[in-house]
Amino acid sequence: MKVEFTVNRKPVSLEAAPNTLLVQALREHLKLTGTHVGCDTAQCGACTVILNGNAVKSCNMLAAQAAGAEITTIEGLASPDGTLHPMQQAFKNCHGLQCGFCTTGMVMSAIDLCHKHPKASEAQVREGLEGNLCRCTGYQNIVKAVQEGAAAMKS
């Protein structure tokens, strides 16, 4: 079946089987491999993208369900000149990553969280990232990164 949506500000049309997951469409059809597949059960958050302004786990929805949607992946955050999005820069500044596997999903969830709660407390950040698992960092630097990113997104 033909599925059309906008990905990273570009219109996209692809042929996909009806059971193709959004994460598969992004990674396999569009070669946007920054969206990671971790658990395949929507538990880890590594596959998180922004769909119509909200963070969603792309392993938990069909590509066809995203028809007509506006999708942003990690590849679509930086400016065309390579300048990182403020949240990406904050993760870099605060070393909010170690192995990096969860980072793309964390960044996407953090951006959504900061749009909804621009002055999120540490507790709100921790609660807002509950659906994203990191097995390396202990989250302290991730929380700092989200708060720094939120401040930078406001300016």
Question: Tens-digit pLDDT profile for the chain (155 aa)?
Answer: 999 999 999 999 999 999 999 999 999 999 999 999 988 888 899 999 999 999 999 999 999 999 999 999 999 999 999 999 999 999 999 999 888 888 999 999 999 999 999 999 999 999 999 989 888 877 899 999 999 999 999 86
Domains annotated on the chain, with CATH: 2-76 (3.10.20.30), 86-154 (1.10.150.120)
Task: Note the pTM of the prediction, 2 decimals.
Answer: 0.93
Residue with tokens 């990191």: 134
Q: What is the distance between the alpha carbons of residues 58 and 48, in angstroms, rounded to a whole number?
A: 6
Instruction: Name the token pair of 50.
Output: 């922004």
* CB-based contact 49:108 (threshold 8 Å): yes
* CB-based contact 56:48 (threshold 8 Å): yes
Q: What is the distance between the alpha carbons of residues 146 and 89, in angstroms, rounded to a whole number?
A: 10
